Structure 1
Amino acid sequence: MAALCAALAAPQAHAVDVDAGDYTALPAGTNLAMAYYQYATRDAAYVRGRKQAGDPRLDSHVGILRGVHFTEIGGYIVDPQFLLPFGKLEGKDDLSAAGSASGVGDLILAATVWLVNKPQTGTYFGITPFLYAPTGNYDNDDALNLGENRWKFALQAGFITKLSEKVSLDLIGDFTLYGKNDKFGAAKVTMKQKPSMQFQGYLRYHLSDAWDLRAGVSHTVGGETEVAGVDQGDRLRTTKVSVGTGWFIAPDLQLLASYGRDVSVRNGLREDDRLNLRVLKVF
């Protein structure tokens, strides 16, 4: 039960998801303003690869405000940025007792440094540290929370290259370290979590310079939790797929939409449907 509560507390706790094209370096002085909407439903619980009986459901409506500024430091393009999530989580059916939660999530600070920046060949390689600050709404008496009441640090690397004039490949990997939550659950016990890793890959087919079709796969491993000194045996091994499109309807305005779902889950709740929408403004 404690492991399930840990999963409910922050359904996005393990993910450092990116969109295809995110590791494209832009000229110094460029600014980006982005707004995301993410809707997801979770319809099954798994323990050690076995689907559990019952009809659990957890829905989420999450928005993210993101600001990015590209600058040059020591000859390298760097993009300091922030991400501020907010939204609502709602337990349904067998998880109705978990109630709902709404508010602001934990503030995320990041900055990519591009070690390879070759726009003439469409080749980029960057490294991004992410710092998650425990600023979001959190109540230890609630099963659902937007905030996690702990610090987190992730280090991610992303690579983009053109396979042909029309096809691009994106490869991303990250490693996440978790601080402890010392007010977990009604008894305010300590929850610790082992590091997790995520690997993502995307193929994009460019219908034009402004419009692409994309497909991706992501695999997450690790992240086993310990509650009050007891290992929960909930090590992650989750694979998900997605398809989508990105379209610059104007030179300074992009719309992005993608749909995805989990295809393999060892522990935790399975995402049955996920819809991601994004608006990007360049200025």
Structure 2
Amino acid sequence: MTKALKPLRPLTAIAAAAASLALTAPARAIDLDAGDYTALPAGTNALVVYGQHATRDKLYSKGDQVPIHPGLDSDIGILRGVHFMEVGGLIIDPQFLLPFGRLKGKDDTAALGSSSGVGDLILASAIWFTQPGAKTHFAVTPYLWLPTGKYNRNDPLSLGENRYKFALQVGSIHELAPGVNLDLAADVTFYGKNTDANNGAGGATTLKQKPLLALQSHLRYQLSPTLDLRGGLFYTAGGETKLGGVDQDNRQATTKFNVGAGWFVAPTTQLLATYGRDIKAREGFKVNNQLNLRLLTLF
């Protein structure tokens, strides 16, 4: 049951929503799809297109639900290119991820407006310590975000963050039984400074953020060689920010799940669909519906 809170004035509630989105929505962890840590032979290329539609109708502050009727919809795509190669006997996969899309405030948070454009470019490469074809896969992946996306300090829905970010993720896949696989991953994200953050009055100040920790697991069952069912559980914690040197007390603690299926419609083409939502959120908007679609082609 939601704890009772004193009513907030509309402008205060909207300001809280804007701060929540600007400071915590980009702090999401690096969500994987089941099977992402499968090592493929050197020389393989992958082109991946993602699409995500998400809706949010609850807003939380320090674990308490804010007593307004907020709304935030997002339609986000990602274009991803991957090349597998061998270096020193190890498989690596240099890649880029380019997000793009649209965000729109609704209902009591409609004053957030809307924004569309391109997000920050992400560069990454997994390094596998197992070989293609093995029943167990294990890899480490560094990620680097470049501040190339659309950003305006007076727009709480900017798709870019105006700062560098670095993350290190460890991931593995384990065959529990024939046709049953468990994926596990853990990562930590470190944040550079945004020296052009909104100080609450339209002026510029500096945003700093503590590291964000994340854990995730995925269970996958092969119904046939080309069709699988899957489910995932995610937990994110940390990422508290300071704005102009003032601690915002907005530590993250989010638990969510998804379920879905993957289907190889051709030997080198896979369609993937998952549905999920947040189970619990301490800070920011709580996702009540999220649909992810992915098209993967290998060549």
Q: Aligned equivalents of 2:174 and 2:161: distance in 1?
A: 36
Alignment equivalent of 1:42, drawn from 56, 59, 68? 56
Q: Which residue of 1 aligns with 2:217?
A: 201
- Assess, with a 3 A threshold, how the Cα gap between structure 1 residues 12 and 256 changes in structure 2: closer, same or farther: farther
Q: Aligned equivalents of 1:3 and 1:177: distance in 2?
A: 24
1:143-154 aligned within 5 A: 143-154=156-167
Q: Aligned equivalents of 2:227 and 2:207: distance in 1?
A: 45
Alignment equivalent of 1:66, drawn from 64, 73, 80? 80
1:1-31, CA deviations, whole angstroms, 9 ceiling, x for partnerless residues?
Answer: 6764343227243221110100000000000
Would the aligned equivalents of 1:14 and 1:223 in 2 still touch at CA under 8 Å? no
Q: Aligned equivalents of 1:60 and 1:36: distance in 2?
A: 13
Q: Which residue of 2 aligns with 1:158?
A: 171
2:281 partner letter: V
Q: Aligned equivalents of 2:120 and 2:243: distance in 1?
A: 21
Query: What's the C-alpha RMSD, in Å, of the aligned pairs?
Result: 1.2
Q: How many angstroms does 1:166 deviate by?
A: 1.9
Q: Aligned equivalents of 1:82 and 1:245: distance in 2?
A: 25
2:138 partner letter: F
| SS, match of residue 163 in structure 1 | strand
Q: Which residue of 2 aligns with 1:168?
A: 181
Q: Aligned equivalents of 1:171 and 1:87: distance in 2?
A: 29
User: Is the aligned partner of 1:259 residue 2:272?
Assistant: no
Q: Aligned equivalents of 2:188 and 2:235: distance in 1?
A: 12
Q: Which residue of 1 aligns with 2:249?
A: 233
Q: Which residue of 2 aligns with 1:223?
A: 239
Count of residue pairs brought into register by the alignment: 282
Alignment equivalent of 1:119, drawn from 118, 123, 133? 133
Q: Aligned equivalents of 2:140 and 2:265: distance in 1?
A: 29
Would the aligned equivalents of 2:18 and 2:112 in 1 still touch at CA under 8 Å? no
Percent of aligned pairs with the same amino acid: 56
The alignment's TM-score, normalised by the length of structure 1, stands at: 0.97
Would the aligned equivalents of 1:9 and 1:146 in 2 still touch at CA under 8 Å? no
The alignment's TM-score, normalised by the length of structure 2, stands at: 0.92
- Give ranges in structure 1 of 5+ residues lacking alignment: none
Q: Aligned equivalents of 1:192 and 1:3: distance in 2?
A: 18
1:115-169, CA deviations, whole angstroms, 9 ceiling, x for partnerless residues?
Answer: 123624x210000000000000001111111000000000001010110002100
1:184 partner letter: A
1:246-269, CA deviations, whole angstroms, 9 ceiling, x for partnerless residues?
Answer: 110100100000000000111111
| SS, match of residue 143 in structure 1 | coil
Would the aligned equivalents of 1:3 and 1:232 in 2 still touch at CA under 8 Å? no
Alignment equivalent of 1:77, drawn from 72, 91, 94? 91
Q: Aligned equivalents of 2:169 and 2:110: distance in 1?
A: 36
| SS, match of residue 53 in structure 2 | strand
Displaced runs of 4+ in structure 1, greater than 6 A? none
- Give ranges in structure 2 of 5+ residues lacking alignment: 1-11
